[in-house]
Amino acid sequence: MTYLEGAGGYSQKSKRVIMCVVKKQLAPRVEDIIQDEDPAAFMIITSANEIYGEGYKDIFSEKL
């Protein structure tokens, strides 16, 4: 999970954006947690073919 600082495109209000990668089978649980914590949350859910970084593939040893 990574926190990003953002601003609303219309409101210009400061916002904390959370970027999170989870395994497909955990996605429903994450959705439930988000719904419980912030029913008005904006979510984008997509699949990824490859993930590089700590805990995943090493970007310097794998071919892109």
For the chain, give every domain's residue range.
Answer: 1-64
Distance (Å, whole) CA 64 – CA 62: 6
Q: What is the pLDDT of residues 23-50, one digit of tens each?
A: 889 999 999 999 999 999 999 999 988 8
Pair 33, 22: CB distance under 8 Å: no
pTM: 0.68
User: What per-residue confidence (pLDDT) applies to 12?
Assistant: 94
User: What per-residue confidence (pLDDT) applies to 62?
Assistant: 58
Q: Which band of pLDDT confidence, cut at 50, 70 and 90, is reported for residue 64?
A: low
User: What per-residue confidence (pLDDT) applies to 1?
Assistant: 87
20 contact partners, CB below 8 Å, separation of at least 6: 1, 2, 30
Q: What is the pLDDT of residues 11-23, one digit of tens each?
A: 999 999 999 999 8
What are 14's strand-pairing partners?
7
